[in-house]
Homo-oligomer: A and B are copies of this chain.
Amino acid sequence: MDAAEFRRRGKEMVDHVADYLEKIEERPVYPDVEPGYLRSLIPTEAPVEPDSYEDIMKDVERVIMPGAASPACTELETVMLDWLGKMLQLPECFLAGTHGHGGGVIQGTASEATLVSLLAARCKAIRRVQLLDPKKSEAEILSKLVAYTSEQAHSSVERAALIGAVMMKKVPTDSLYAVRGEMLKKILEEDKAAGLIPFYFCATLGTTPSCAFDHIADLGPLCNQENMWMHIDAAYAGSAFICPEFRPLLNGVEYADSFNFNPHKWMLINFDCSAMWVKKRTDIIGAFKMEPLYLKHENQESGLVTDYRHWQIPLGRRFRSLKMWFVFRMYGLQGLQAHIRKQVGLAKEFESLVRADKRFEICAPVVMGLVCFRLKGTNELNQSLLKKITKSREIHLVPCQLSGSFVLRLAICSRSTEFRHIQQAWQHITQLAFELLQEHHH
């Protein structure tokens, strides 16, 4: 949708909202639909090619309005997460379908998804240990539980353990900043020998510092064998798995208990929208369920409806699946794949520019839209370069630390980034580097 069409459609939408409010008294107070009404009204998969905007707006009246607000809000979310799960080729067990035990939910951020998975795992582990040894108190078990994640994992993972009041240990990574099965196995053996209870591993696909990929196909069987919950945090990289050429990086997801990524990061859906799937919805519900009278409803024991309030930290919910529905249909699967491929292509172009300049080095494999690079030389030199870049206010780079090196990161993320921006950014960086190196020589 270009700016001209946005102006037209946006103004139609303003009228649509005003009409709705002006005629609200003509609308029914209560929806007159049965649980599960929505699924049969829309296709079972996202379109491959774009739908027209007119068709989407017609469906708002046909599909959403009869079930406004809560049933439609809940049911569209379940079906959209199935659509998205199919785009990613997630194993069937993660989909809700009409009879599945798994399913998806929209969280606000990956931090919340990680926390929810850790809390579900904590609850499950405590119950399992108490079943074997009923005399053990909850407090005693809690003090022995250990969660694990990569030393390269996002800080929110450690924070989830802090909130959940459980120990968390960092697993070392290989030369490409990824966790391998044997590294986790070694720590598990030591910890079990010390009487601790490993219960949770958070794998990362696409780490924040360098977009590294933990070896989940090795880690998954290990976690299953050890009765540990494996959560996969693919916050950034997850969007790329809709492209067949990137999907192999997700192999091993079949061993996971939960999987999460942020369509708001790289799938053209506005913040916030973090998609999370679980294999067994009873695991996650069991950790939080509270049923006061004012939240009871007719269908809650029927198994036909999803009470998402048990799947998340907040109680209230926004209608976030609408924006998924619009984006999936406006772009179609092919349009979204083209977006990912274009941005990876731009990152590769930038990588070539860096590699062609002998003063610079690439610091980690460029797999997706992130390029980690630095001036050959000291950390101080690179810190000075970043300071110059930041001070000139032309581009925005966020640094990281890799194997003790201070590294610059160029991330392609805006929908409107083109090759000329990449060229401009590189020209700008090399100009500042030139000035910096001149200063150093004098």
Write the residues of chain A forming the contact surface with B, with a CB cutoff of 8 angstroms: 3, 6-7, 10-11, 13-15, 17-18, 21-22, 24, 28-30, 32, 108-112, 115, 119, 122, 137-140, 142-143, 154-156, 158-159, 162-165, 208-209, 264, 271-272, 287-288, 290-295, 313-316, 318, 390, 393-396, 398-401, 409, 416
Contact = CB atoms under 8 A, between A and B. Distances in A.
A313 B163 contact: yes
29 contacts: A6-B17, A10-B11, A10-B14, A10-B17, A10-B18, A11-B11, A14-B14, A24-B416, A28-B393, A30-B390, A32-B393, A108-B316, A111-B313, A112-B313, A122-B165, A142-B142, A155-B292, A158-B290, A162-B288, A163-B288, A165-B165, A271-B316, A272-B314, A272-B316, A293-B399, A293-B400, A293-B401, A294-B399, A294-B400
Contacts of A409: 294
Nearest to A141: B139
Contact of A156 (B159, B287, B315, B399): B315
Contacts of A159: 288, 290
Contact of A393 (B29, B164, B401): B29
A287 to B, nearest CB: 8
Contacts of A142: 139, 142-143, 165
A18 B22 contact: no
A4 to B, nearest CB: 8
A14 B137 CA distance: 59
With a 10 A CB-CB cut-off, give which of A162, A295, A314, A390 has the most chain B CB atoms. A314
Contacts of A295: 155
Nearest to A163: B119
A18 B3 CA distance: 6
A21 B415 CA distance: 11
A38 to B, nearest CB: 19
Given A7-B15, A313-B112, A294 B208 contact: yes
A314 B109 contact: yes
A363 to B, nearest CB: 14
A163 B292 CA distance: 18
A111 B294 contact: no
Given A109-B315, A155-B290, 8 more contacts: A29-B393, A30-B390, A30-B393, A119-B163, A122-B165, A137-B143, A139-B143, A293-B401
Contacts of A155: 290-292, 295
Contacts of A22: 3
Contacts of A119: 163
A390 B296 CA distance: 13
Contacts of A164: 163, 165
Question: A122, A154, A292: which has the most chain B beta carbons within 10 Å?
Answer: A292
A21 to B, nearest CB: 6
A20 to B, nearest CB: 10
A181 to B, nearest CB: 25
Contacts of A110: 315
A140 B140 CA distance: 8
Nearest to A265: B316
A134 to B, nearest CB: 17
Contacts of A288: 159, 162-163
Nearest to A396: B29
Given A143-B137, A295-B155, A111 B393 contact: no
A67 to B, nearest CB: 13
A252 to B, nearest CB: 26
Contacts of A314: 108-109, 111-112, 272
A210 B108 CA distance: 31
A154 B315 CA distance: 11
Given A29-B395, A164-B163, A398-B294, A111 B21 contact: no
Contacts of A28: 393
Contacts of A416: 21, 24
